[in-house]
Structure 1
Amino acid sequence: MHGIKVNELTTGTRALKAASTSIIGLVATAGAAVGAPTVALDAAFPVGALTLITNIRAAIETAGTTGTLKAALEAIADQGSPVVVVSRVAVDVDPEDQAVLVEAGVEALLGAQSQLGVTPRILGAPALDVQAVATALAATARKLRGMAYAAAIGADVAAATDYRENFGARELMLLWPATDAAFAGDAVARALGLRSRIDTDMGWHKTLSNVAVDGITGLDVPIFFDINSDDNDAALLNAGDVTTIIRQDGFRFWGNRTCSDEPLFAFESAVRTAQVLQDEMASGLLWAIDKPLTAVLIRDIIETINANFRRLIGQGRLIGAKAWYDSALNTEADLAAGKLVIDYDFTPCSPLESLSLNQRITDRYYASFADLVG
């Protein structure tokens, strides 16, 4: 070439795409009334397959009349109009065999991204979530970087908190008691719908707790709640890492805790923040893979991450965060082998779970009493 050639270089920061966290993964059974044909139901929700719902009201019309699917969708729809991935499983009269089928339906949610192009992050199997299923939900939620919601099985407060001891997963939140609806999984289904609505309206950094739930008319077990005391049913359940339902200006879930065995991830908001950051980093830095490993590339990666942190901090979704390059973790041999390590830390937004007000009685305001009378 005799002249000047201009090469276009792409350097600098890139915007990271916000992770979609409001998609529900629902495992359910469904059937038609006795003697009624199942052609429409089977076509809309094939057994053993995943179905994407983008119009939940329309989906309810083809969800059958028996099983858990229709009732769960109705409870979810009371909270909003989320995108739902349905994993329909067959009905089995044997409880153990039914649990095995449901566990397989839970695991099937892992294929949603490849089959439907979406990833469910809010998982549940209302009315089907026995202990084995809840364990499967937590395991699948961990792989999908999501949260699972399940019922705490027990007849009273003590039994419910004792049941929680069966789990140590940060991706699982247990709920107790059930509502007074005929559908046993009503509370869990409403939690799924509310979690999705909170993600859309407020953000993934807001916990499920203390947001009015639509459609609840009562509870199957009365819950004593006193906001000024820790000597009540709701406080005992929360102390045992079980989220309950209170009636205070409407019905609302009350509790921020997961089943985590790691205190740093005790709050639902901490778990979801960590998940979102992992997801945004992994997908948002794809452009950097296989580019020449130069100092310019490393600076671009770090600044891209820190720019995303500044965005999240400005939105009130993070307290603070920072990414950096540590030379001790990046040896010459590793860099030459195409390996790079970038460190970052973050502080999630903790919920204001406990507010203390110091009350004192004093006579000092009588000091200016004469002026007030005059």
Structure 2
Amino acid sequence: MTDAYLHGVEVVELKTASRSITTPSTAVIGLVGTAPFADPDAFPLDRPVLVTSATQAAALTKTLAANAALDAEGTLPTAIQAIYDQTRTPIVVVRVAADASATAQQALVVGTALTRTGVYALLAAKSETGMTPKILIATGFTHQQTNGAANAVVMALRGVADRLRAVVVADGPSDTDSHAVSKATLEAGERIYPVDPTVGVLARTGAIVQRPSSAHVAGVIALSDQERGFWWSPSNRTLNGVVSIGRPIEFSRSDATASSNILNAAGVAVIVNDDGFRLVGNRTPPNDGEYEFLAQRRCMDMVFDAIEGSFRWAQDRPFSANLLDDIAGELEAYQRTLKARGAQLGGRVWLDPELNTEATFRSGRLYVNLDGEAPAPLDRLTFLFQRETGYYAELVSSAGAQAA
């Protein structure tokens, strides 16, 4: 409303409706890989492309011969199939050139930050596709380890994940428990979710082949988000499209010395044969991050994204008591919603007078404090049993009554 002169009648619509904070989509997968027979117009090299259907993904094998050799299609088509075996979800695909040299191929997948190629092309996903990938994989390129060093693709993805507030599903070596643990330790981070072993799947040629499991696991995470919410752990869910695993993983719910528990303790998720091929593991490898559980890290990432993306309306407005109340009120309402859904155990919002002074307000700066806690998954359930022989007395009494 302004004070401009008007000789007449007017109606001014007052925008008093309350705003709400909206959590962005969490089940978006970022996938980097090869597809040498792709349509170059549909999938240009080192450019993020949003794939939303199997029909669109078919362009990745546009010129592939029907009798082509096993895996000639590259890693992207098989990874997308593994994801789609779990659920239909948006996939941001980055196609890189194929190279026969393993060293050169790894360099192409890693790419460079300066030119936004390889995994760094995922940083342009939001501007080019409108979606930010939250589950990052480069299936076929994260399980290798050379001379005891960390995998370069995993480490590059970790840096990208930090910037996108995403997580990385990193494949294990699928050979021994000790190797899986040592590799995960080298690549440790609160956004890294190592998984071992490989999985057996039916290939295009009809053969059963072993492939890294990260694409299947990424699909399971996306499915869990869709069905239950981003604050749920993907652990304890079965994988579709899997007919075997690359090596037997000794699994027990009560034996701490079983391979599954040893690997889980080191932050390595495993795929076990337990009423179906099942993903087991809540933790990320020990690191200096804030959260040890993958679900908690992802939950807080989504909350932070939601808050940052929902206060555009407040930017550049003049300071006023109403503005401060509106900001705090919107945050409090969001925290109540999160608690009601089970995504937060609670939360508070306040303005710290030591931070918010006349000087900070004059400089156009506002500090809003808030706290909260994402629920940890139930990782260990202990039932305490004690023997009670006194029940024999009840049995004797009951038997005596029946005899009488």
TM-score by length of 2: 0.86
Alpha-carbon spacing, 1:281–1:260, altered in 2? closer, same or farther (3 Å): farther
Matched ranges for 1:12-31 at <5 A: 13-31=18-36
For residue 175 of structure 1, give the secondary structure of its aligned residue in structure 2: strand
For residue 66 of structure 1, give the secondary structure of its aligned residue in structure 2: coil
The answer as to whether partners of 2:220 and 2:234 remain within 8 angstroms in 1 is yes
1:122 aligns to 2:127 (yes or no): no
Q: Distance in 1 between matches of 2:173 and 2:316?
A: 50
1:59 aligns to 2:56 (yes or no): yes
The answer as to whether partners of 1:306 and 1:322 remain within 8 angstroms in 2 is yes
- Aligned partner of 1:156 in structure 2 is 176
Alpha-carbon spacing, 1:342–1:272, altered in 2? closer, same or farther (3 Å): same
Alpha-carbon spacing, 1:10–1:297, altered in 2? closer, same or farther (3 Å): farther
Q: Distance in 2 between matches of 1:364 and 1:127?
A: 61
Superposition deviation, residue 7 in structure 1: 6.8
- 1:152-195 deviation digits (Å, cap 9, x = unpaired): 23620011101112124211111111113466544111011111
- 1:240-273 deviation digits (Å, cap 9, x = unpaired): 1111111111111111112352363110111111
- Structure with larger RCO (C-alpha < 8 A, sep 6+): 1
Q: Distance in 1 between matches of 2:282 and 2:16?
A: 42
- Aligned partner of 1:178 in structure 2 is 198
For residue 345 of structure 2, give the secondary structure of its aligned residue in structure 1: strand
Q: Distance in 1 between matches of 2:153 and 2:335?
A: 36
Match of 1:313 among 315, 324, 339: 339
1:237 aligns to 2:234 (yes or no): no
- Aligned partner of 1:139 in structure 2 is 159
Q: Distance in 1 between matches of 2:376 and 2:363?
A: 40
- Aligned partner of 1:81 in structure 2 is 88
- Aligned partner of 1:281 in structure 2 is 307
Alpha-carbon spacing, 1:3–1:251, altered in 2? closer, same or farther (3 Å): same
For residue 180 of structure 1, give the secondary structure of its aligned residue in structure 2: strand
- 1:265-294 deviation digits (Å, cap 9, x = unpaired): 110111111101110110111111111111
For residue 237 of structure 2, give the secondary structure of its aligned residue in structure 1: coil
Deviates more, 1:144-153 or 1:362-371: 362-371
1:98 aligns to 2:105 (yes or no): yes
For residue 174 of structure 1, give the secondary structure of its aligned residue in structure 2: strand
The answer as to whether partners of 2:345 and 2:374 remain within 8 angstroms in 1 is yes
For residue 92 of structure 2, give the secondary structure of its aligned residue in structure 1: strand
Q: Distance in 2 between matches of 1:90 and 1:186?
A: 20
Superposition deviation, residue 371 in structure 1: 4.5
1:109 aligns to 2:122 (yes or no): yes
Q: Distance in 2 between matches of 1:248 and 1:78?
A: 19
Q: Distance in 2 between matches of 1:258 and 1:69?
A: 26
Superposition deviation, residue 97 in structure 1: 1.9
- 1:9-35 deviation digits (Å, cap 9, x = unpaired): 656742011221111111010124xxx
Q: Distance in 1 between matches of 2:199 and 2:174?
A: 14
The answer as to whether partners of 1:71 and 1:183 remain within 8 angstroms in 2 is no
The answer as to whether partners of 1:169 and 1:258 remain within 8 angstroms in 2 is yes
The answer as to whether partners of 1:149 and 1:192 remain within 8 angstroms in 2 is yes
Unpaired runs of 5+ residues, structure 1, are 33-37
Q: Distance in 1 between matches of 2:210 and 2:319?
A: 56
Q: Distance in 1 between matches of 2:109 and 2:354?
A: 47
Match of 2:215 among 189, 193, 211: 189
Q: Distance in 1 between matches of 2:171 and 2:355?
A: 44
TM-score by length of 1: 0.92
Aligned alpha-carbon RMSD (Å) = 2.0
- Aligned length in residues: 366
Q: Distance in 2 between matches of 1:340 and 1:99?
A: 45
The answer as to whether partners of 1:23 and 1:83 remain within 8 angstroms in 2 is yes
- Aligned partner of 1:48 in structure 2 is 46
Unpaired runs of 5+ residues, structure 2, are 62-71, 112-117, 145-150, 202-207
Alpha-carbon spacing, 1:260–1:333, altered in 2? closer, same or farther (3 Å): farther
Q: Distance in 2 between matches of 1:61 and 1:78?
A: 15
1:248 aligns to 2:268 (yes or no): no
Alpha-carbon spacing, 1:150–1:183, altered in 2? closer, same or farther (3 Å): farther
Q: Distance in 2 between matches of 1:311 and 1:157?
A: 42
The answer as to whether partners of 1:27 and 1:87 remain within 8 angstroms in 2 is yes
Q: Which amino acid aligns with 1:45?
A: F
Q: Distance in 2 between matches of 1:372 and 1:180?
A: 57
- Aligned partner of 2:226 in structure 1 is 200
More helix by proportion, 1 or 2?
1
The answer as to whether partners of 2:60 and 2:76 remain within 8 angstroms in 1 is yes
